[in-house]
C-alpha cells in the first residue's frame, strides 16, 4: 500500500488511496424502516432513489461499492450485497460483516437515510483521513458522525469483540479506539445545515422534499 502523507502547519495528515480496490464505499441499507413503513433506500427525490444518489457519489471516489442489506429488494441494483453475519444490532452489524467479507483495506461508510451527503463532503473526509484509524466527520457543534466515516479493515477483530461484549453503540466504539476527528468548519464551501438531514419518518421525507425543491 502506498501512502502519501502531507503534514500541514495544523499537523493534519492526508492520504490518497492508490492501490486498486483499496477503498470501498459501504451503503448501510439494512434497517427495517419501521417508522417509515416502507424501505427508505428506495424513496426518490429528483427522480433518483436514495440509494442511487449515494452510489453515484461514492463511485466518484471509491474503487468498489457494497450494499449492506438483509432485504431482497436490493439484489437487482447491480452491486455486491452483504448480509449481516451476526444478529442485526443496527449499523454496527452491517459494518462488521462488510469488513469481514470484503477484501478492501478501507471502508467509507454512509447510511441510506442521509441522501444529502455531498461528493465534496466525502472527498473532504477521504482527504483528511488518517491511515490505520477510524476517521469520522465531526460537525461544528461537536456532534460525531459514525456513519460518515472511514474504517480500516484492521479494526474488524476489535469491532467483533465489542459487539460480543454487548455494546452496539458506534460512538462508544469510536471513542474507545481513539478515532481521528475530521472537523467541519463554517468556511468550507460545501458545509450547510442539511448535509446530514436524516429521513426516518414520512414527515421527515416531506421536509426533505421541501429542502430539495428550494435548491
pLDDT band at 55 (very low <50, low <70, confident <90, very high): very high
pLDDT above 90 covers what percent of the chain? 69
Amino acid 114: pLDDT? 95
Per the DSSP assignment, residues forming a β-bridge with 27 are: 67, 110
Q: Is the pLDDT of residue 13 over 50?
A: no
Q: Find the length of the chain.
A: 215
**Average of per-residue pLDDT across 140-159:** 96
7 confidence band (pLDDT: 50, 70, 90): very low
- Average pLDDT on 59-68 reads 94
Distance of CA 192 to the CA centre of its chain: 18
Instruction: Name the more confident of 199 and 13.
Output: 199
Kindly provide the b/e burial profile for residues 119-136, where b requires at least 16 CB atoms within 10 angstroms of the residue's own CB: eebbebbbebbbbebbbb
Q: DSSP string of the chain?
A: --------TT--------STT-EEEEEE-----TTTSS-GGG-EETTEEHHHHHHHHHHTT-SEEEEE---GGGTTSSSEEE--SS---SHHHHHHHHHHH---SEEEEEETT-TT--HHHHHHHHHT--TTS-EEEE-TTS-EEEEEEEEEGGGHHHHHHHHHTT---HHHHHHHTTPEEEE--TT-TT--TTTT----SHHHHHHHHHHHHT-
- N- to C-terminal Cα distance for the chain? 40
Q: How confident is the model at residue 5 (pLDDT cuts 50, 70, 90)?
A: very low
Amino acid at each position: 500500500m502506498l501512502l502519501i502523507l502531507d503534514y500541514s502547519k495544523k499537523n493534519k495528515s492526508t492520504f490518497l488511496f492508490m492501490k486498486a480496490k483499496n477503498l470501498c464505499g459501504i451503503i448501510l441499507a439494512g434497517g427495517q424502516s419501521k417508522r417509515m413503513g416502507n424501505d427508505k433506500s428506495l424513496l426518490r427525490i429528483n427522480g433518483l432513489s436514495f440509494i442511487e444518489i449515494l452510489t453515484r457519489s461514492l463511485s466518484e471516489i471509491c474503487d468498489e461499492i457494497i450494499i449492506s442489506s438483509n432485504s431482497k429488494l436490493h439484489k437487482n441494483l447491480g452491486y455486491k450485497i452483504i448480509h449481516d453475519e451476526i444478529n442485526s444490532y443496527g449499523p454496527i452489524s452491517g459494518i462488521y460483516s462488510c469488513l469481514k467479507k470484503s477484501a478492501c483495506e478501507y471502508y467509507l461508510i454512509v447510511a441510506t437515510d442521509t441522501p444529502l451527503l455531498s461528493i465534496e463532503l466525502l472527498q473532504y473526509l477521504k482527504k483528511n483521513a488518517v491511515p490505520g484509524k477510524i476517521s469520522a466527520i465531526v460537525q461544528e457543534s461537536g456532534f460525531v458522525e459514525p456513519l460518515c466515516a472511514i474504517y480500516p479493515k484492521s479494526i474488524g477483530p476489535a469491532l467483533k469483540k465489542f459487539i460480543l461484549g454487548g455494546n452496539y453503540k458506534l460512538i462508544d466504539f469510536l471513542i474507545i479506539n481513539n478515532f481521528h476527528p475530521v472537523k467541519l468548519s463554517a468556511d468550507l464551501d460545501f458545509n450547510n445545515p442539511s448535509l446530514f438531514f436524516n429521513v426516518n419518518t414520512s414527515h421527515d421525507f416531506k421536509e426533505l422534499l421541501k429542502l430539495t425543491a428550494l435548491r
